[in-house]
Structure 1
Amino acid sequence: MDFSRYLKEYPDAEGRFGKFGGAYLPEKLVPAFKQITDDYLTICHSSQFIQELRRIRKEFQGRPTPVYHCERLSRMIGHCQIYLKREDLNHTGAHKLNHCMGEGLLAKFMGKKRIIAETGAGQHGVALATAAAYFGLECTIYMGEVDIAKQAPNVARMKVLGANVVPVTFGLKTLKEAVDAAFEDYLENYKDTIYCIGSAVGPHPFPMMVRDFQMVVGYEAREQFQDMMGFLPDVVTACVGGGSNSIGMFEAFLNDPVEIVGIEPLGRGKTMGDHAASMSYGSEGVMHGFNSIMLKDEKGEPAPVYSIASGLDYPSVGPEHAFLRDCGRVKYDVASDEEAVDAFFKLSRYEGIIPALESSHAVAYAMRRAKEMGTGSILVNLSGRGDKDLDYVIEKYGYGEKYKDFK
């Protein structure tokens, strides 16, 4: 497949990436989503919008974020070199602000007074609360009770920023249920509210919008790595839950002779309910208004999922990821909880960088792959910092005493 015209051809006018994507909506929301699509397609080609977004990225977010060579970690493993795209240094500590500021600008353009969202690990919630404060908008964040307990620092940050954090108390009380609750809110309040979906999922145009706003990560990384090294990396990788950080990272490399690998959470193992590896163990299905690959129970409903990383425990994946896998351009692999925690402590001890547990899955894969490759280079999107995870990790794993030596 020729990827030179990929961005012009995908998604199509109906929001589809091949057979994936689309917009499966309640009838009353169809006009609302059409208006979002029309307004986005208007402003995304507006020089005023683009210039304002660039100013925000530079002056408020602190972009571009750097590419960093993990020299000590690489030396410990062998001769293959690991590099990080440091999205943990983006304002609020993760990649999420890249699309939240864009969605905030869109909300202002549309005359909306309120923005709502779901959040799992809390990074999207913090980023959207930040955008709301910046643009002077009301903000409501839905978050599962399980994730609220695991991510207390981010809950506090959202509240300090002025957001109303609503605990979700039904079902498994995690990310999928938070999305359900946010959609219910949007159904009732769509006239003055915009639902700012937190990943490259949901009905069209959100997978396209989030991808477009996140592509800055990959294009920065590609240029920075080439300036640093004079060539491109052998492997580009990122963690995949819904898939916002990874689709933003991958897009710039699609037409290059570079291997691209997305890493899903294997959790505690392959049994249903013990992982959230949709691409590895799921099948085609529709949920939350889009068609993609999803994990299903015996009734064909979204299956229960689990990951140590609250931002990855979602039973489906962005439709563009499903398409890129089916056309053979991007591969998908897994990392377990144990591997992610090992990578969390290794990166902390060897490089002085405490990663988010979500990002730790991609670091774990890079460490494993570096041993297999022997030589070459791997570029990881370090999608977020681990401040939010410290209390949980210390409670469950201590201070990493068992991870002092490489296994």
Structure 2
Amino acid sequence: MEVKLHDIGEGMHEAEILNYFVDKGDRVQNDAPLLEVQTDKMTAELTAPAEGIIEEIMFQPGDVIEVGTTILTLRTEKKEGERKSEGEPVQKRKSPIFRVKASPHTRRLAREHDVDIEKVEGSGKGGRILDEDIFSYLENKEYDEHPKADRNAVSNAPVKEAEKGVETIPFRGRRKQIAKKMTQSLYTAPHVTHFDEVDMTELLNLTNHLKTGSGRMGGKKVSAAAFFIKALQLSLKQHPVFNSKLDEEQEVIKIEQKYNIGLATATEEGLIVPVLKHVESLSLLEIHQQMKTLTEKAQQNSLSAEELNGGTFTISNVGPLGSTGATPILNFPEVGLMAFHKTKKRPVVVDDEIVIREMMNISLTFDHRVADGSQSVAFTNQFIEYIENPHYMFVEMT
């Protein structure tokens, strides 16, 4: 039986082999983990489709293969003479790392440090073991026999070559896949970025009132980013060309009927974009809560394939990092991406008077094959109107 790389995510074409959990000749049970792969969006495990014996392994860790490629072969039927003598134990690979809650990345980290992950106490939700738990375990143990068991073993951490005075960072895994996707996007879609600014004063007053006010809605924390997402959804409804994908083969622009907003999120392994689904049917409070959950799962590398697929438009909230402007690369094949930059107090003219307002820069990158500059201005102006007058959103919500 051939075990092939199957599509574990929308738009996936290839993946890098990170690690095998089996060797040639191993007997595996149905649904037992065979190997770990890295796509441009996620780390995932491939499991055995049936019980059998590993016959051949075709590739090595680090190899990049396309969807549909046979990775290994599995012999599933017993032949005469293969039965083991009575009393001889059946070969089974002990894999305690799969009996605890932990992401593939955390499991790999435990293996690299020779840590029995079953002995590690998880600090995550539901007892999930996080990367920090592995490091804490190492710090509390005497590892004299493993002097290299330190944070430099993390796949993308800097490694110094002392003899040359050169510092290197491995270019593989998610970092490599991100590079390929960014290159594809930049060289396929002609990028244009439109810049503008938005007065955040009224919106920040509203979010503060919801947080500190009294009454039934008092003490409700709703982030400004939740309002950004709702304002974008309402703006996309009125300017649907930015909620579309170009199908060059069919020569059509496909307007999406749902509003699934990708949340560009920085993690230790690189950028990842979980998708907040069906924003049009969510309240502001639901948007805030689901956004927080997705971001936490992204940091823990525990997102499912479903949570990484189906985006129609992406946001990048880099303001908290101190950004004042950027020209982001599209999350191809989406048509638009809006970045929110730092909010700071600035003197502005309002009704012929100079006043201090909370101002934020925004940048909209779009695919110039699909949309024009005038459309980007109209779309951005619509978004700005909602943010500067947040009560308008409540009128438009269904």
TM-score by length of 2: 0.26
Decide which structure has greater helix share.
1
**As a proportion of its length, which structure holds more strand?**
2
Structure with larger RCO (C-alpha < 8 A, sep 6+): 1
